[in-house]
């Protein structure tokens, strides 16, 4: 049972077929929970610690061949007043969610010597992101489009590549910056969709928004845990990483209520409010 579980993780990560990616991610989560309930999971991770040191190259991550990737500036921006415009927006969200599946799987398979709860947390995130993608793709199809019909950019995955060397940097910059940005912009997107009469999309984003607060909270927890393990000050580390990766600063405005729910500290909230 132990070895196949890690083989499942690798297969799910490398899978390029969209439907198979979803099936394998859900199956992995189901089997992981079964192993967790048998009290064998800590032993499973301990026995296969060497697996995490022999991971697939990050550029081999499974992405569908039907997706056209362009530079971010070349991704057309469309309003939501038209059906095509809403389809383009939902496609962009679907791509974020598909990337998020791979991001969560990569967080598991890339970094060794983390506490067992770390792997449990990120596999749950992967399963929830797969669920989100399924919801969004369903609405995308209702709008007459399919995942792959619009070009996308690699912005989210590029940060995954740039933080592949260090779990602390990954936790700081992917959940706490990129995913937290989703919390900032989602209410505004929902308002536009509501004005356009697309209440189903609004409801789908409610589900995603709720779960993403939890995902950012997981990132906050493990970033702080990494800093504590290394005897580092969290704010000093975060500020140094922002100077390195975002020298112009983070883009606002910030959703302070959602960020507080996701576990940002009072000091961090004060900085965001400036």
Q: Which two tokens stand for residue 212?
A: 């993403």
| Cα–Cα distance measured from residue 189 to residue 22, given in angstroms and rounded to the nearest whole number | 26
- Burial of 71 (C-beta count, 10 Å sphere; 0-12/13-18/19+): exposed
- Phi, psi torsion values for 152, nearest 5 degrees: -135, 170
Domain that holds residue 240: 2-273
Contact by Cβ (8 Å): 193, 80:
yes
Contact by Cβ (8 Å): 206, 253:
no
Contact by Cβ (8 Å): 24, 12:
yes
Residues in contact with 105: Cβ distance below 8 Å, sequence separation at least 6, in sequence order: 9, 12, 13, 25, 122, 123, 126
pLDDT > 70? residue 274: no
Quickly count: other Cβ atoms within 10 Å of residue 248's Cβ: 6
Residue range 76-94: mean pLDDT, rounded: 88
| Cα–Cα distance measured from residue 79 to residue 196, given in angstroms and rounded to the nearest whole number | 10
Least confident of 36-40, 42-46, 147-151, 223-227: 42-46
Nearest by Cα to 112 from 174, 45, 61 = 45
Residue range 248-263: mean pLDDT, rounded: 91
CATH number at residue 170: 1.20.1260
- Give the C-alpha distances (Å, rounded to integers) separating 258 from 43, 121, 263, 274: 36, 20, 9, 17
| Cα–Cα distance measured from residue 207 to residue 94, given in angstroms and rounded to the nearest whole number | 14
pLDDT > 70? residue 40: no
- Burial of 255 (C-beta count, 10 Å sphere; 0-12/13-18/19+): buried
Nearest by Cα to 166 from 223, 242, 212, 244 = 223
Query: Is 267 or 175 the better-scoring residue by pLDDT?
Result: 175
pLDDT > 60? residue 55: no
| Cα–Cα distance measured from residue 245 to residue 209, given in angstroms and rounded to the nearest whole number | 25
pLDDT of residue 106: 92
Predicted confidence band at 187 (pLDDT cuts at 50, 70, 90)?
very high
pLDDT of residue 1: 47
Number of domains observed in the structure of the chain: 1
Contact by Cβ (8 Å): 172, 208:
no
pLDDT of residue 67: 81
Helix (H) or strand (E) holding 213: helix 199-230
pLDDT of residue 58: 64
């Amino acid at each position: 049972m132990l070895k196949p579980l890690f083989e499942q993780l690798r297969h799910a990560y490398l899978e390029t077929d969209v439907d198979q990616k979803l099936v394998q991610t859900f199956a992995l989560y189901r089997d992981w929970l079964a192993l967790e309930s048998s009290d064998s999971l800590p032993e499973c991770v301990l026995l296969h610690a060497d697996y995490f040191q022999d991971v697939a190259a990050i550029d081999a991550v499974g992405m569908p061949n039907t997706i056209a990737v362009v530079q971010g500036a070349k991704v057309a921006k469309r309003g939501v007043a038209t059906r095509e415009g809403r389809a383009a927006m939902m496609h962009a969200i679907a791509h974020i969610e598909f990337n998020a599946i791979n991001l969560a799987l990569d967080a598991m398979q890339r970094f060794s010597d983390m506490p067992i709860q770390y792997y449990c947390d990120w596999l749950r995130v992967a399963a929830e992101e797969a669920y989100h993608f399924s919801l969004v793709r369903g609405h995308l199809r209702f709008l007459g489009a399919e995942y792959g019909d619009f070009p996308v950019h690699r912005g989210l995955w590029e940060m995954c590549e740039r933080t592949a060397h260090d779990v602390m940097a990954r936790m700081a910059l992917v959940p706490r910056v990129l995913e937290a940005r989703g919390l900032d912009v989602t209410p505004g997107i929902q308002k536009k969709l509501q004005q356009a009469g697309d209440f189903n999309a609004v409801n789908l984003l409610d589900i995603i928004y709720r779960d993403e607060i939890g995902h950012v909270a997981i990132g906050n927890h493990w970033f702080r845990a990494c800093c504590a393990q290394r005897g580092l000050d969290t704010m000093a580390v975060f500020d140094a990483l922002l100077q390195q990766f975002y020298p112009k600063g983070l883009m606002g405005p910030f959703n302070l209520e959602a960020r507080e729910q996701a576990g940002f500290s009072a000091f961090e909230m004060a900085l965001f409010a400036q």
